[in-house]
Structure formats: structure tokens, C-alpha cells
């Protein structure tokens, strides 16, 4: 995966069978510090009108209709939303006007709907399968609660890509977190340093996904490119992972 720039917005874009995937960074938007500049997250303290403009800028760079981008109010769980039509009120296009569902993942079989998750250390995980597409928010709680298995089951997942997230270089965790993934073996942790991307990859393989690609970019180690909650504190922005179908 390499960064490209479209309409002034740096993006990591990846092809999966029947789908396109894109991961945004922090550059190319209109927000002021500390959310500079392409902050997509409304619940960050940023001005809503700037978040709205950033969301439209990203959709435009990807040639997506902002009203056909599905989002959730992420709660670090394993809940999924199924989409067969655009969300009522288009909360991505009009942030703050409509409350999106409290879910951390989405799936659809509709080719003209895009699925999005917000991240700032957690992993954006895109999956394709014989029954559609899924986009999953991979924090440790959601991964431990089974969001990968649930998402892959819904679409019969066969190929996936894991976007940038906090790396094993920077993700020190406690005993509770280590215990949650002990069954995956010693390869996913070194002492108290957890390889969250390795956890997600192992769970995808366990769920039957045959092809897994993975970004090695650490959000905390790359503050010039990416937002990081651990690196920058609560006053930071959110980037996104998106997936949508192609003919």
C-alpha cells in the first residue's frame, strides 16, 4: 500500500475482489489545530461545519455521493448494521442532524453504498465475500467481542485488508487485554506490547478469510500523516476506512 493524492487529499487505496477500499489520513481538510486538517469525527470538539466540509471533500475525492455513505455511532462493541439503502437522514452528509445506529461495523450487498468506520488508533478492517462487503471498527474490545467473526459470517468473507492503526511498537496493554487474545498464541504479543494488527489478521484467518493484506503504518509513529488518540490525546481527529462495490 502506498499513499496517492486525489484532489489534494492523500489516500491509501486498495482493490479487493468486487470492491474498492480507501483509508484517509489527516491531511487535505479545513479543520484547525489540534484537529488539523481532515478531521472526520464529530465528537472531537471540532466545529461541526468543518467536519461536514471535510466529509464532503473526502467523498468528492473518491467520487462517492455523501448521502450514500453509511456510518455508525461507534461504541467499541461487536454490533453490525445491514444496509440495503442509504441511511435515513444521511448522517455522514449532514453530521449531527441524525443519530446513526450504535454499531461498530456494517455490511451490504448493494454496490452503490459505501461503508465507513472512524479510527484514531483502532483498525479499519475491510472485507469482501460472496454475499457482499463489510467494514469493521477493530478496537481491542470489538475484536475480543467477535466483530471479525460476525462480519465475515454475514458476507462469507474471503478477502480482507487491514488499514493503519496503532502498532506493536506503541500499544502497551494490561493483563485483561492480553488475556482476551491468549488463545491466538504468543505471536500477537511481546511482553505487554500487543500487535493489534496481528490479532485482527489471526481472527480473519480463523473466520475463513483466505487473503489478508495489512498496512504496517503505526498511527502513533506517524503524526504527520495520521491521527492518534494515544499519541495526541483526546483532542485529536478521526480518519476513516471505507469500502464500496465496483462492477
Alpha carbon distance 106, 110 (integer Å) = 12
Q: Give the pLDDT score at 223.
A: 97
How much is the average pLDDT of 176-202? 97
Percentage above 70 pLDDT, the chain: 100
Check: CB of residue 83 under 8 Å from CB of residue 68: no
Q: Give the pLDDT score at 2.
A: 83
Across the chain, mean pLDDT equals 96
Percentage above 90 pLDDT, the chain: 96
Q: Give the pLDDT score at 247.
A: 72
State yes or no: pLDDT of 175 exceeds 90: yes
State yes or no: pLDDT of 116 exceeds 90: yes
Fold type of domain 3-245? 3.60.140
Q: Give the pLDDT score at 8.
A: 95
Q: Give the pLDDT score at 22.
A: 98
Alpha carbon distance 84, 90 (integer Å) = 14
pTM for this structure?
0.97
Tell me the pLDDT tens digit for each residue of 207-231: 999 999 999 999 999 999 999 999 9
Amino acid at each position: 500500500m502506498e499513499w496517492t493524492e486525489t484532489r489534494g487529499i492523500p489516500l491509501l487505496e486498495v482493490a479487493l475482489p468486487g470492491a474498492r477500499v480507501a483509508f484517509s489520513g489527516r491531511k487535505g481538510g479545513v479543520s484547525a489545530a489540534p484537529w488539523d486538517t481532515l478531521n472526520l469525527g464529530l465528537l472531537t470538539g471540532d466545529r461541526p461545519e468543518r467536519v461536514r466540509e471535510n466529509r464532503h471533500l473526502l467523498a468528492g475525492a473518491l467520487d462517492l455521493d455523501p448521502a450514500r455513505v453509511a456510518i455508525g455511532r461507534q461504541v467499541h462493541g461487536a454490533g453490525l448494521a445491514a444496509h440495503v439503502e442509504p441511511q435515513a437522514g444521511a448522517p455522514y452528509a449532514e453530521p449531527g442532524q441524525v443519530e446513526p445506529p450504535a454499531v461498530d461495523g456494517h455490511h451490504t450487498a448493494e454496490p452503490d453504498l459505501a461503508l465507513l468506520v472512524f479510527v484514531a488508533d483502532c483498525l479499519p478492517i475491510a472485507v469482501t465475500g460472496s454475499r457482499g462487503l463489510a467494514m469493521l471498527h477493530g478496537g481491542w474490545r470489538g475484536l475480543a467481542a467477535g466483530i471479525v467473526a460476525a462480519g465475515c459470517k454475514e458476507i462469507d468473507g474471503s478477502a480482507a485488508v487491514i488499514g493503519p492503526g496503532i502498532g506493536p511498537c506503541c500499544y502497551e496493554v494490561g493483563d485483561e487485554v492480553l488475556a482476551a487474545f491468549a488463545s491466538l498464541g504468543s505471536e500477537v504479543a511481546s511482553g505487554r506490547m500487543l500487535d493489534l494488527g496481528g490479532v485482527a489478521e489471526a481472527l480473519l484467518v480463523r473466520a475463513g478469510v483466505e487473503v489478508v493484506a495489512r498496512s504496517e503504518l503505526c498511527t502513533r509513529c506517524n503524526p504527520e500523516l495520521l491521527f492518534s488518540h494515544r499519541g495526541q490525546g483526546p483532542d485529536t481527529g478521526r480518519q476513516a476506512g471505507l469500502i464500496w462495490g465496483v462492477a
